[in-house]
């Protein structure tokens, strides 16, 4: 396993991050345990969850599964860099969602209980605040840091200017501010290259791409459909994207076959090669899917292959950050 700094911090995290959105939703707990065991034994020390994950079972189910895994073996928590999120509504009760100071602090206490831990390494805002001023948000985060309940603060689904506004507000308080941004980023969805990635790199904020395989569309979808083994490709993001991208995906799978690597591994290796990326957030539904992901760490894509990928999946505009993507 390779390790790198999380953004501009001194915290070392694995180049692959274990995402747990499926825990308690589509993946039963015994398989969740097997996935976490394999991740830990393979050197993945970075786990990501959210307080609303597992909603199909009940909100907080993902955190509870992780908490029981920590409690089952002393030392697991100390070896793990743990990230969770706050924002989504935990109930229909007013103030039980969003980013008010009241909810941030109450939600953190709830996550700590479910995760059976005394601290959260990376506490992420799951979405941009719609109405709460930054001064209120950073006041609450600073309190949690001072209490030792969180170590770092991250964001998710922010625009580039949101990163700037958040960081400048933190700077005025002499706070560390954001250290990571978790955003959708893959070969098919490259919008963040315009402003989010440049802003993050300017502020020393690490990029954590979610949906690195675009819901399975970049994981050998055409072949799996032909074989009748497709699961994720028939639903969600992959199903919506397939009609418009079928020819491109087939050409991509042919390129991967030429390279001798699986489409999923090439998609992850491409993200690992991108500027500003700390670690793609994997979303395995099974032990086998996670196990296969480790091969991406050993793939180096040469300039010629990267150019062919750009031809198949063109960057927005002329490529590069805004405004160069659309102007001279």
pLDDT reported for residue 235: 63
d(CA 148, CA 135): 20
User: Which of 283, 313, 285 is closest to 47 using CA atoms?
Assistant: 283
Token pair 């506490």 is at which residue?
123
Residue 26 has pLDDT above 80, yes or no: yes
Q: Are 21 and 53 in contact (CB under 8 A)?
A: yes
* Structural domain spans, the chain: 3-216+262-300
- Catalytic option among 53, 123, 185, 203: 53
Quickly count helices (H) and strands (E) in the chain.
12, 10
pLDDT reported for residue 320: 84
pLDDT reported for residue 233: 61
What does each C-alpha distance from 229 to 180, 220, 234, 327 come to in angstroms?
Answer: 36, 10, 10, 45
Residue 270 has pLDDT above 70, yes or no: yes
Reported pTM: 0.93
Residue 229 has pLDDT above 60, yes or no: no
Q: Are 183 and 177 in contact (CB under 8 A)?
A: no
Average pLDDT in the 240-260 region? 90
Q: Is 53 a catalytic residue?
A: yes
CATH superfamily of 3-216+262-300: NADP-dependent oxidoreductase domain (3.20.20.100)
pLDDT reported for residue 263: 96
Return the minimum-mean-pLDDT range out of 26-35, 168-177, 214-223: 214-223
pLDDT tens by residue, 98-143: 999 999 999 999 999 999 999 999 999 999 988 899 999 999 999 9
Query: Average pLDDT of the chain?
Result: 93
d(CA 76, CA 41): 11
pLDDT tens by residue, 53-100: 988 878 899 999 999 999 999 899 999 999 999 998 888 898 988 999
pLDDT reported for residue 228: 66
d(CA 287, CA 318): 40
């Amino acid at each position: 396993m390779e390790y790198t700094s999380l953004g501009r911090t001194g915290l070392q995290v694995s180049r692959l991050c274990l995402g747990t959105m499926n825990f308690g939703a589509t993946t039963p707990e015994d398989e969740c345990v097997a996935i976490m065991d394999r991740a830990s034994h393979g050197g993945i020390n970075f786990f990501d969850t959210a307080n609303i994950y597992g909603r199909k079972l009940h909100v907080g189910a993902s955190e509870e599964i992780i908490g029981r895994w920590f409690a089952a073996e002393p030392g697991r928590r100390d070896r793990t860099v743990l990230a969770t999120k706050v924002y989504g509504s935990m109930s229909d009760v007013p103030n039980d969602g969003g980013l008010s100071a009241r909810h941030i602090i109450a939600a953190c206490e709830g996550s700590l209980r479910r995760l059976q831990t005394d601290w959260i390494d990376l506490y992420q805002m799951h979405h941009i605040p719609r109405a709460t001023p930054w001064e209120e948000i950073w006041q609450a985060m600073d309190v949690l840091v001072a209490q030792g309940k969180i170590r770092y603060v991250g964001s998710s689904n922010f625009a580039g200017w949101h990163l700037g506004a958040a960081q400048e507000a933190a700077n005025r308080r002499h706070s560390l501010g954001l250290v990571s941004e978790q955003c959708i980023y893959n070969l098919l969805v490259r919008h963040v290259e315009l402003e989010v990635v440049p802003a993050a790199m300017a502020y020393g904020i690490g990029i954590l791409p979610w949906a690195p395989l675009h819901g399975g569309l970049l994981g050998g979808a055409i072949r799996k459909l032909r074989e009748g083994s497709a699961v994720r490709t028939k639903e969600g993001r992959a199903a919506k994207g397939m009609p418009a991208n079928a020819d491109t995906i087939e050409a991509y799978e042919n390129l991967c076959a030429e390279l001798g690597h699986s489409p999923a591994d090439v998609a992850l290796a491409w993200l690992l090669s991108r500027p500003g990326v700390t670690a793609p957030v994997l979303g395995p539904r099974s032990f086998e899917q996670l196990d296969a992901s480790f091969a991406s760490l050993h793939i180096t894509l040469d300039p010629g292959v990267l150019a062919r990928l750009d031809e198949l999946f063109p960057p927005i505009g002329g490529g590069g950050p805004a405004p160069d993507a659309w102007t001279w």
